[in-house]
């Protein structure tokens, strides 16, 4: 496996890694592969499957247009994205890759069709003045990862510098730990430092945490109504104000955990509003890891909190890599067990590592995190990453802390291996009906009557 921690943790914008970040990356990649663009006369984007069914609610249309204009998820200004999209729609033309070259564009939603390799399919067509066409298909496979049609599963993991501790399963990673005497975060650090310097790695990890921390902070002071038509009000800021005002007056022993819930909700409200977030490992589950990281930073005793935060992220990335490689982190492929369930497992394992737990305890925590999300559907109301997604992140963060606590109070011995539970998640996702996998055709998405949103 040759993924990096920075593949699992990407800085981008909301509301969805698979429906916003991935399509933006794919659209830009398409035009880069189609260059030169001088003789282009039109461009067409066609969305299929889950991208078509929930694309408007997830901002896929906006993401594709912005990607064709040359924007990237990590660099785009979230405050300007809506204006750029609105101007392109009004004019009916866009500037390819931000160049002066303007062409008309069309965007089609094929809700009854699915491309063969993944539920999140896209087809792009660039037409030239001499009648030629350049056509490519791409798939957004979760967490902001994409692959072109025909690329091998895992083809996004391009071979890089050899790493000292290669692994494809948790069994292999544990065996490497026994042979080397190293912890999981130490092995992950060694793998990353085969690609970059220690200073660059630390700077990158610290930047990920700082973006997460800032996202929480912004979400805890921002009120108002979320976009999309469901008229969902932000709650994290109001509840945070109440919690701060109450202090210890109410005598409740769970204040820290209540705060964790609000941290996660704050991030996912920011995500639902199209704000700056870190994909962790997806946008729909982006609140869990930041919430548990802040819990570690503020409520757990650590001799070296900065290094603890880095160990957390490195260990969490190992769990995310295993889940992505051996199952999926795409809600359109395996349901929300692959998003909130995986994020919970990553956070639980990361917290155990940051607190000095053993490799066996790290595995145990991750296994508990996924096990108790098995079968969770992805059924967003109106195709929006709001209900039940925002609260689901708050609950997932609490489950992660509980899983870490259970693992740390044991000796690492456990009955179900992480590899087994990941394979169970994969099989459960394969058995799950398509209407429960990010199509908004089943579950809560159809059993809640809404009159204000046309997609419901």
CB 386 within 8 A of CB 232: yes
The whole-angstrom separation of Cα 398 and Cα 331 is 21
CA distance readout (Å), 18 to 15, 59, 352, 432 = 9, 11, 28, 19
So what's the pLDDT on residue 159?
52
The top-level CATH class assigned to 170-448 is mainly alpha
So what's the pLDDT on residue 151?
87
Q: Over 70: is that where the pLDDT of 158 sits?
A: no
Of 52-61, 178-187, 400-409, the poorest mean pLDDT is in 52-61
H helix runs in 35-103, sequence order: 50-53, 55-58, 60-68, 78-91
Q: What is the pLDDT of residues 254-271, one digit of tens each?
A: 578 899 999 999 999 999
Q: What is the pLDDT of residues 421-450, one digit of tens each?
A: 999 999 999 999 999 999 999 999 998 755
Q: Over 60: is that where the pLDDT of 61 sits?
A: yes
Provide the 3-class DSSP secondary structure of residue 243. helix
**Residue 247: Cβ within 10 Å count:** 8
> pTM higher than 0.85, yes or no?
yes
75/302: higher pLDDT:
75
So what's the pLDDT on residue 309?
98
Of 28-37, 252-261, 340-349, 383-392, the poorest mean pLDDT is in 252-261
* Residue 96 DSSP symbol: G
The whole-angstrom separation of Cα 291 and Cα 297 is 10
Q: What is the pLDDT of residues 80-113, one digit of tens each?
A: 888 899 998 888 999 999 888 899 999 999 999 9
Q: How many secondary structure helices (H) and strands (E) does the chain include?
A: 19, 8
Q: What is the pLDDT of residues 382-417, one digit of tens each?
A: 999 999 999 999 999 999 999 999 999 999 999 999
Dihedral of CA 24/292/186/341: which sign?
A: negative
Q: Please report, for the chain, the start and end positions of each structural domain, with discontinuous segments joined by +.
A: 16-148, 170-448
CB 10 within 8 A of CB 279: yes
CB 128 within 8 A of CB 65: no
Q: Over 80: is that where the pLDDT of 456 sits?
A: no
Q: Over 50: is that where the pLDDT of 304 sits?
A: yes
Task: Give the CA angle between residues 255, 260, 261 to the nearest 5°.
Answer: 100
The whole-angstrom separation of Cα 128 and Cα 283 is 36
| Mean pLDDT score, 205-215 | 98
The whole-angstrom separation of Cα 267 and Cα 270 is 5
Q: Over 50: is that where the pLDDT of 251 sits?
A: no
| Mean pLDDT score, 288-308 | 93
Instruction: Enumerate the β-bridge partners of residue 124.
Output: 45, 136
| Mean pLDDT score, 130-142 | 95
CATH code at 16-148: 3.30.1330.90
The whole-angstrom separation of Cα 452 and Cα 228 is 10
Q: Across all residues in the chain, what is the average pLDDT?
A: 93
Share of the chain above pLDDT 70, in %: 95
Assign 248 a pLDDT band (cuts: 50, 70, 90). low
Between β-strands 40-49 and 120-128, what pairing exists: parallel, antiparallel or unpaired? antiparallel
Closest CA to 103 of 51, 42, 55, 58: 42
So what's the pLDDT on residue 449?
57
Instruction: Enumerate the β-bridge partners of residue 120.
Output: 49
């Amino acid at each position: 496996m040759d993924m990096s921690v920075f593949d699992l943790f990407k800085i981008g914008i909301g509301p969805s890694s698979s429906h916003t970040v991935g399509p933006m990356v794919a659209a830009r990649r398409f035009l880069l592969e189609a260059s030169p663009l001088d003789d282009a006369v039109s461009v067409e984007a066609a969305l299929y499957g889950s991208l078509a069914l929930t694309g408007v609610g997830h901002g896929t249309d906006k993401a594709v247009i912005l990607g064709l204009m040359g924007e990237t998820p990590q660099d785009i200004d979230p405050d300007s994205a809506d204006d750029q999209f609105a101007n392109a729609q009004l004019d009916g033309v866009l500037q390819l890759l931000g160049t002066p070259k303007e062409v008309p564009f069309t965007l089609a939603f094929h809700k009854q069709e699915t491309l063969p390799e993944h539920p999140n399919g896209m087809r792009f067509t660039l037409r030239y003045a001499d009648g030629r066409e350049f056509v490519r298909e791409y798939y957004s496979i979760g967490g902001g990862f994409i692959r072109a049609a025909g690329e091998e599963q895992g083809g996004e993991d391009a071979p890089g510098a050899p790493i000292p501790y290669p692994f494809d399963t948790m069994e292999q990673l544990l065996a490497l730990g026994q042979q080397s005497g190293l912890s999981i975060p130490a092995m992950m650090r060694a793998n990353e430092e085969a690609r970059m310097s220690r200073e660059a790695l630390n700077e990158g990890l610290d930047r990920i945490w700082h973006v997460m921390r800032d996202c929480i902070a912004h979400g805890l002071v921002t009120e108002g109504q979320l976009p999309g038509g469901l008229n969902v009000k932000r709650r994290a800021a109001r509840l945070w104000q109440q919690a701060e005002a109450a202090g210890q007056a109410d005598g409740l022993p769970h204040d820290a955990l209540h705060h964790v819930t609000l941290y996660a909700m704050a991030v996912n409200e920011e995500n639902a509003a199209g704000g700056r977030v870190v994909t962790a490992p997806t946008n729909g589950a982006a609140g869990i890891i930041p919430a548990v990281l802040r819990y570690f930073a503020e409520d757990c005793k650590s001799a070296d909190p900065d290094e603890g935060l880095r160990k957390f992220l490195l260990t969490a990335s190992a769990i995310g890599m295993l889940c992505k490689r051996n199952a999926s982190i795409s809600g359109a492929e395996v349901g929300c067990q692959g998003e909130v369930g995986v994020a919970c497992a990553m956070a639980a394992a990361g917290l155990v590592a940051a607190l000095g737990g053993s490799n066996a305890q790290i595995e145990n925590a991750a296994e508990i995190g996924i096990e108790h999300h098995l079968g969770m559907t992805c059924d967003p109301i109106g195709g929006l990453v709001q209900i039940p997604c925002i609260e689901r992140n708050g609950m997932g963060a609490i489950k992660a802390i509980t899983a870490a606590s259970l693992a740390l109070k044991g000796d690492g011995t456990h009955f179900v291996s992480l590899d087994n539970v990941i394979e169970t998640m994969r099989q459960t996702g394969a058995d799950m009906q398509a209407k429960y996998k990010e199509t908004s055709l089943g579950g809560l998405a159809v059993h809640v009557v809404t009159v204000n949103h046309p997609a419901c």
